[in-house]
């Protein structure tokens, strides 16, 4: 809740859950263990849970489990509750919409909220040109639709992606992921015409933006052939791959090459968009104006909604009826998304992301000076990670250290801090909090991380 009666200029947010960690049982606690047993009987074993504590309430940056333990949440449902858990304006907008209309199906009888979300997307995605959108339910569905639209527009079939990419768990997106395990292994056959090109990974390849782009383009021209390529799909900052920030210049050079060769370049901003990195979209950090932009995770404060937005002439290539789906652009999810956009427009959320970057990176730099398992610190805004290496290999072979990452995640969880891992080799610890996380909570979590690093021995 926001205190609007306060006479001060800046109303401090009021939380319904105290913003502090508190551990009152072993982790997981007895009620969570009971629920976990019930779950084992009826929930597919193919669905994992990083930390099997069952959550009863959440507010701001805090998760409360069924045993009364409180966790500082550095995962935000993998970058979904960017605006904060159960943020008051989102809750209000969704509750109001539930009273008015829950579903009609936009492709049968439309409603204003869908149009309003498309207007907001057109205004806030990069690029000054005329833009249009289609709304869908999930990130993977946005990727699928981006590829469909690019193929229809170009009349070509080929789809290029980058090494270390993650794009989802549907059939097409499984083929677009870099890592077989756990996303693809045994789930084939996969969609064809998908090509994996080298990326920009400055910590490991040491290449400038020019050189990394030349390598990517060389691969696309020799191995794929531009004339068969419909689209190149790129995360401006890779998410599951480990928060790799590409070298300066890399993305605009690829965009220029795509434009010259009639290839649609698509920004997968599903994890990095919606104020997460201190800009509406992370592409802005790199001077990249993509043809199409994919939005999902953070757009609706926790409700499922996703979008493909981009150049009107590309978005209009599909025949009427070619795009859509039963739940796409659900009115309640749209109402929540409008509240999220309005909060970003009205408030200090972009500056909050920059505050979080400063607090995290300065604290992590101090830890890096003391612990040589921290090989690299990278990211933007509230999307920051450390790459963890074997002791003593940081300046030379940079050998991945997934065991240390797992140990740190477990150490922190037992003390009430939820960290997520990432990285092609499970070698990255990522910080993906909501923008509601305070400097006090960040300092507290970094102290837990410091103790965990010391305990590695």
Ligand X SMILES: *Cc1c(COP(=O)(O)O)cnc(C)c1O
Interacting residue ranges for ligand X, rule: CB under 6 A: 138-140, 143, 166-168, 235, 239, 268, 270-271, 296-297
190, burial (CB in 10 Å: exposed 0-12, middle 13-18, buried 19+): middle
- Which residue's CB is nearer to ligand X, number 131 or number 276? 276
| Closest distance to ligand X from the beta carbon of 143 (Å) | 6
Question: Which of 412, 394, 400, 413 minimizes the C-alpha distance to 455?
Answer: 412
- Which residue's CB is nearer to ligand X, number 32 or number 137? 137
| Closest distance to ligand X from the beta carbon of 295 (Å) | 10
Quick check: 433 and 356 in contact, CB under 8 A?
yes
Quick check: 193 and 157 in contact, CB under 8 A?
yes
130, burial (CB in 10 Å: exposed 0-12, middle 13-18, buried 19+): exposed
Q: What is the C-alpha separation between 172 and 257, in angstroms, rounded?
A: 24
| Closest distance to ligand X from the beta carbon of 296 (Å) | 5
- Which residue's CB is nearer to ligand X, number 32 or number 177? 177
- Which residue's CB is nearer to ligand X, number 294 or number 449? 294
What six digits make up the tokens of 409? Answer: 């995640």
Q: Report which DSSP code applies to 125.
A: S
Q: What is the C-alpha separation between 264 and 250, in angstroms, rounded?
A: 16
Quick check: 7 and 20 in contact, CB under 8 A?
no
CA 241 to centroid of chain Cα atoms: 11
- Look-up of token digits 């039963």: 326
Q: What is the C-alpha separation between 215 and 267, in angstroms, rounded?
A: 19
| Closest distance to ligand X from the beta carbon of 139 (Å) | 2
- Which residue's CB is nearer to ligand X, number 64 or number 267? 267
- Which residue's CB is nearer to ligand X, number 167 or number 355? 167
| Closest distance to ligand X from the beta carbon of 239 (Å) | 4
| Closest distance to ligand X from the beta carbon of 7 (Å) | 42
374, burial (CB in 10 Å: exposed 0-12, middle 13-18, buried 19+): buried
| Closest distance to ligand X from the beta carbon of 169 (Å) | 6
Quick check: 155 and 229 in contact, CB under 8 A?
no
- Which residue's CB is nearer to ligand X, number 29 or number 184? 184
| Closest distance to ligand X from the beta carbon of 70 (Å) | 26
Report which residue's Cβ sits closest to ligand X: 139
- Which residue's CB is nearer to ligand X, number 140 or number 162? 140
206 Cβ contact list (under 8 Å, min separation 6): none
Main-chain dihedrals φ then ψ at residue 160, nearest 5 degrees: -110, 140
């Amino acid at each position: 809740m926001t205190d609007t009666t306060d006479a001060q200029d800046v109303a401090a947010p009021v939380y319904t859950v105290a913003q502090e960690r508190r551990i009152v049982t072993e982790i997981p606690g007895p009620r969570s263990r009971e629920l976990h047993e019930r779950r084992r009987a009826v929930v597919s074993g193919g669905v994992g849970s990083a930390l099997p504590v069952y959550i009863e309430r959440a507010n701001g940056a805090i998760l409360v489990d069924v045993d009364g333990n409180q966790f500082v949440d550095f995962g935000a449902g993998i970058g979904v509750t960017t605006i904060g858990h159960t943020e008051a304006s989102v809750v209000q907008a969704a509750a109001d919409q539930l009273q008015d209309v829950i579903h009609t199906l936009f492709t049968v009888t439309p409603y204003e909220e869908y149009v309003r979300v498309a207007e907001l997307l057109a205004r806030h995605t990069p690029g000054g040109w005329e833009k249009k959108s289609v709304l869908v339910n999930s990130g993977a569905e946005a990727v699928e639709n981006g590829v469909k639209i690019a193929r229809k527009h170009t009349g070509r079939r080929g789809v290029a992606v980058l090494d270390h990419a993650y794009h989802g768990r549907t059939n097409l997106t499984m083929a677009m992921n870099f890592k077989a395990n756990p996303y693809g292994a045994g789930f084939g056959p996969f969609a064809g015409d998908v090509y994996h090109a080298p990326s920009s990974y400055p910590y490991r390849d040491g290449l400038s933006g020019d050189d990394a782009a030349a390598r990517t383009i060389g691969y696309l021209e020799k191995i794929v052939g531009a004339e068969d390529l419909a689209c190149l799909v790129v995360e401006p900052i890779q998410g599951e791959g480990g928060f790799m920030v590409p070298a300066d210049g890399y993305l605009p050079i690829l965009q220029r090459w795509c434009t010259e060769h009639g290839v649609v370049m698509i920004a997968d901003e599903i994890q990095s968009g919606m104020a997460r990195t201190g800009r509406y979209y992370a592409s802005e950090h790199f001077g990249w104006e993509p043809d199409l932009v994919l939005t999902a995770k953070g757009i609706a404060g926790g409700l499922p909604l996703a979008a493909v937005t981009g150049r009107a002439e590309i978005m209009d290539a599909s025949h009427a009826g070619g795009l859509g789906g039963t739940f796409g652009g659900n009115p309640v999810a749209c109402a929540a998304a409008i509240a999220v956009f309005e909060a970003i427009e009205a408030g200090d959320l972009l500056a909050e992301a920059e505050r979080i970057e400063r607090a995290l990176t300065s604290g992590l730099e101090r830890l890096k000076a003391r612990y040589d398992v921290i090989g690299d610190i990278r990211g933007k805004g509230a999307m920051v990670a450390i790459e963890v290496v074997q002791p003593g290999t940081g300046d030379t072979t940079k050998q991945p250290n997934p065991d240390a990452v797992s140990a740190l995640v477990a150490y922190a969880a037992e003390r009430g801090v939820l960290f997520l891992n990432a990285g092609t080799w499970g070698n990255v610890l990522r910080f993906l909090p909501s923008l509601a996380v305070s400097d006090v909570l960040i300092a507290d979590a970094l102290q837990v991380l410091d103790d965990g690093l010391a305990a590695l021995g």
